[in-house]
Amino acid sequence: MKIKEVIVVEGRDDTAKIKLAVDADTIETNGSAINTQIYNQIRHAKDKRGVIVFTDPDYPGERLRRLIDQYVPGCKHAFLPKKKALGKRGVGIEHASVEDIREALSQVYEINHPEEHEQVDWQPYLLKYGLIGGSKAKERRKQLGERLNIGYANGKQLAKRLHMFQIDVQTFEQTMQSVLEEETV
């Protein structure tokens, strides 16, 4: 599988695993030590070939994803569920299977910024489906993020992420119905 875009990862181990899964070039951010030079490399790669941000499914990885999107808007994003990135030494892309990496890269999203599209008021939907404030809210958000391939988000970030990835209400509700049906099994 050949990937045209340059894939932004956190470190060398991620690059090594990506290269086992696909034929692609990478830019390493050195974790959260990202600097102006790396932002400029990402910006240049985005302008020439496109960029896919593929960070670890943990807090530092999500923080890094937001920083890159802030400094280099318009990148595409790939997500890997946390359970598929667990290893003996923690969470990371480098622990994922080749198949899971290919799957994540085949379901890439382009982030659209809130000012560019009509805003859905997600708050009533988040309450209706128990995604905030309930005892099962965290697990439901986790399931929703995995099924929509938008990654895990806390209660505050979920509405923003649904909007960024242009998830429509119908897709959201169908996905939540399947999450709730699975809970009752």
Render pLDDT for 64-122 as a digit per residue (tens, 0 to 9). Answer: 998 998 899 889 999 998 889 988 888 999 999 999 999 999 888 766 555 555 678 89
Q: What is the average pLDDT value for the chain, to the nearest integer?
A: 89
At residue 26 the predicted structure's pLDDT band, cuts being 50, 70 and 90, is very high
Taking CB atoms within 8 Å and a gap of at least 24, the contacts of 125-134 are: 125/169, 125/172, 125/173, 126/155, 126/158, 126/159, 129/176, 129/179, 129/180, 131/155, 131/158, 131/176, 132/158
Domain boundaries along the sequence of the chain: 6-111, 116-184
Q: What is the mean pLDDT of residues 16-24?
A: 95
Question: Which pLDDT does position 111 carry in this prediction?
Answer: 62
Question: Which pLDDT does position 11 carry in this prediction?
Answer: 93
Record: fold of 6-111: Dna Topoisomerase Vi A Subunit; Chain: A, domain 2 (3.40.1360)
Render pLDDT for 28-50 as a digit per residue (tens, 0 to 9). Answer: 998 878 999 999 999 999 999 99
pTM of the entire predicted model: 0.72
Question: Per-residue pLDDT for 144 more than 70?
Answer: yes
Render pLDDT for 167-179 as a digit per residue (tens, 0 to 9). Answer: 889 999 999 999 9
CB contact at 8 A, 131 and 139? no
